[in-house]
Chains A and B, each alone.
Chain A
């Protein structure tokens, strides 16, 4: 079974999760046999393209484009290359892009799709993967019955593993028809340099216990020192203290960082659902009975605005050592 990975690009480089996907595919190929093929669409530098081989991609394909085709055309382009590469397992990142395109691709290939998977298949014949349901309140073993199998791997759940191979690198152009679209882009507002919440290894998150949006300076300061992304609980985003994109929980983002800091978050069941994939959870709350302590690994009972300066000081110290 050849495995094809859709590796997203950003400003000429692979998005970080691409390497995790390739690592996963390489390990999976140990079970299924077949080739590990990475496919990037967009602008990507030569030096960057080669890196895919460090993690096990033996065929590296880049389809060059100044800007991406629209969702429908991007999906069709992928279907064309999946067939060309004779791939049977197709791997996407479990993020907004993967979730947008993978189902359309699945419709075209008549493929079963498993989103939010967190590990290798239990077995490949039948093909059984485990995925989270109810935002992590339960786990489901899913059999993908179709010939083509589409998997979306949750970030930070497999890790990046060096496994270098000698690759074949190809660059191709995209036919002009793929850039025709009924959608006209009027404006884009890019964000650069920011650590993406979905990919972050460390997340510093806060809730209503902060008392006021004016107190977020210390959350951002701690995040900046640790190289972390910032997040928040639902009431905080509902009240407009923080943008919706930062909302973590059952109806927000589901994340799997190595460390999740919860400052002034009580730990409602919907919030916990979104963070249960975290390796280590640190909770600070003034209420010692707050449910967040039931899922935390380290807990501090106290006022967040008094605890934060101490943690900032300790973090700064450890980072300059």
Chain B
């Protein structure tokens, strides 16, 4: 069974956001790029399944410019077999999904994993869009995956409710936390091997987008925090009711 993990290249989650000169993007100077945390967990699970002999090949794909290659190399160093980069600066989730759909049309996969969202644009759209464009069976909010004799056991978790499903490929799974606990990190040997693993660059087939960012701003600053003495902590409850009027 072949698995495709869709990878988004995002700023490290500790990044302090600075608005770029065009007011439409953030200033990327000095930003440390990482694998989107949900994609990283999805990749980790895919590699665990490969180690267990249940998956034959793990492929990672990204839609982005050359800047994302470090992230793809890291995915290879972590254990992915090969990488595909669709060369374009994506305008929105639609551009990403339509280019990924071409990748899948050219090379079918049994399982496609997409993180539930990316920590930059928080669109939560690429997985569902991709499934829709391919008219593929898809399962959302997946927090567990196992494979036994080509049969997939999938765990979903929504608001504390758990559901166990059985399905088979081809299927697209939208991955949330819980799928793997600790993200796998590259070993020294992995880093050496990654240098010679295939990283295929394909040209984008579509640059169409449905949305456009008009302006990016920072949220308004918070006012001053009102301090209350710890001995008198109950006072906060009164203030919430009488002053803030939210209780």
Contact = CB atoms under 8 A, between A and B. Distances in A.
Nearest to B126: A103
A245 B160 contact: yes
Contact of B230 (A112, A194, A283, A306): A306
A187 interface: yes
A104 B174 CA distance: 12
A65 to B, nearest CB: 17
A298 B236 contact: yes
Interface string A277-321: 001101110000000011111111111001100110111011000
A103 B132 contact: yes
Contacts, number: 283
A293 B227 CA distance: 9
A318 B143 contact: no
Interface in B230-247: 230, 232-241, 244, 246-247
A182 interface: yes
A297 B226 contact: yes
Given A112-B211, A269-B14, A311-B234, A298 B122 contact: no
A50 interface: no
Contact of A244 (B122, B177, B219, B246): B177
A100 B174 contact: yes
A140 to B, nearest CB: 5
A187 B233 contact: no
A106 B160 contact: no
Nearest to B11: A134
Contact of A250 (B13, B93, B168, B228): B13
Interface of B: 11, 13-17, 19, 26, 37-38, 92-94, 97, 116-117, 119-133, 135-141, 143, 153-154, 157-168, 171, 174, 177-178, 181, 209-219, 222-223, 225-230, 232-241, 244, 246-247
Given A133-B121, A189-B161, A301-B230, 14 more contacts: A99-B124, A100-B141, A103-B127, A106-B210, A112-B211, A136-B219, A138-B217, A140-B213, A143-B211, A183-B139, A183-B166, A185-B165, A189-B162, A196-B159
Interface of A: 70-72, 75, 95-97, 99-108, 110-116, 128, 131-146, 181-191, 194, 196-198, 202, 226, 238, 243-245, 247, 250-252, 254, 258-259, 268-270, 276, 279-280, 282-284, 293-303, 306-307, 310-311, 313-315, 317-318
17 contacts: A96-B158, A103-B127, A104-B138, A107-B97, A112-B92, A141-B215, A183-B139, A183-B167, A189-B162, A189-B163, A191-B159, A196-B160, A259-B246, A293-B227, A300-B227, A313-B234, A314-B236
